Amino acid sequence: MTRPRENRNPTSGKRGAGKLFFLGAAALALLAAVLFLRYGARFSGPQAVTVPLPPTAAAGSGASLPPPARAARAPAFRVGPLAPAPAPGLSEASAEGPLPVISADGREAWQVYARPFDRADTRPRLAIVISGLGLSNLETKKALAVLPAAVTLSFLPSAGNTALWLKEARETGHETLLDFSLEPSFDPLQYVGPRTLYTSLEPAQSLDRLHWVMSRGSGYIGLTTYMGTRFARSPEELRPILQEMKKRGLAFFDARTTEEKTAKELGAELKLPRGFADSILDTEVSPGAIDAVLSHLEKRARDHGSAIGVGSAYPETIDTVARWAKTLHGVVLVPLSAVLVR
């Protein structure tokens, strides 16, 4: 029997062992790499995070990066149509029609029916009230069509369709008031409208006339004086009227520009929501004169923080206010409720 030939190369065994060792080490290294990639981040310390940059132009090309995206602006404060009136719990039936009341949970018409306003806006505030609306369909429709919704509109109760005008004004976003006539000083017998309050009336008669005015519609925040210097300077006559307005959750707006202080003092005493006109826009009914008054009101708002202007339903007044409002800067046009004091 022939014996197997012996390997006569003494290094061949060592070479085989070396290859096996190398292959084993490589396999272990590969396994370690795989394990690190899969689990290493869980056990390692804080890692630097590389955020991929947007594609850039080649170095030295002279091309610049596109500007970073600008942060989106917060949406502008917008107000659409105001809620229908009367609101639940804010009216009661009467022989004349619905009258405003403070609700059982304390809600008041001057707040519920107010046009919303951005209270975070720190600019000086300027309120514009246009009164005497409702009698002329042409001018009333024009006011609703062209005036900014932040302008407050006041309607004559003697207009046959006052309730409809109030409704339409709220649908276009306008805060509303009702005019009420007071006895003037220049001629106590001059007719200034139906259900005018005269100093010759008994208090009960004055309240009956006031209730008639209040019942002409719903959704208004308060009442605007129309004429009225003689009546308004009599504390005995004016007090029960303002008390009734306070009782029914209404605001009082005095459209007279007078130094007479009876209404201001009584309003403060009663803590009645109130406002007083600083200037009449159209004592002279011309665009130039109205523009001058509006500029004066802007300055007053900047100097004092707020101002109130009142104008009549003249076509010149409506057109001028509509044009002026588009150029207003640094002062914000607000509804009357935004500048009332209490």
Confidence of residue 288 (pLDDT cuts 50, 70, 90): very high
Q: Which of 67-81, 171-185, 280-294 has the lowest mean pLDDT?
A: 67-81
Walk me through the domains of the chain, giving residue ranges and CATH numbers: 108-338 (3.20.20.370)
Q: Report the percentage of the chain scoring pLDDT > 70.
A: 75
226-251 pLDDT, tens digit each: 877 788 888 999 999 999 999 999 99
Q: pTM higher than 0.95 for the full model?
A: no
Residue 42: pLDDT over 70: no
Q: Identify the pLDDT of residue 78.
A: 72
Least confident among 55-59, 316-320, 333-337: 55-59
Per residue, the 3-state secondary structure of the chain, as one string, reads CCCCCCCCCCCHHHHHHHHHHHHHHHHHHHHHHHHHHHHHHHHCCCCCCCCCCCCCCCCCCCCCCCCCCCCCCCCCCCCCCCCCCCCCCCEECCCCCCEECCCCCCCCHHHHCCCCCCCCCCCCEEEEEEEEECCCHHHHHHHHHHCCCCCEEEECCCCCCHHHHHHHHHHCCCCEEEEEEECCCCCCCCCCCCCCECCCCCHHHHHHHHHHHHCCCCCCCEEEEEECHHHHCCHHHHHHHHHHHHHCCCEEEECCCCCCCHHHHHHHHHCCCEEECCEECCCCCCHHHHHHHHHHHHHHHHHHCEEEEEEECCHHHHHHHHHHHCCCCCCEEECHHHCCEC
Lowest mean pLDDT among 41-50, 191-200, 213-222, 242-251: 41-50
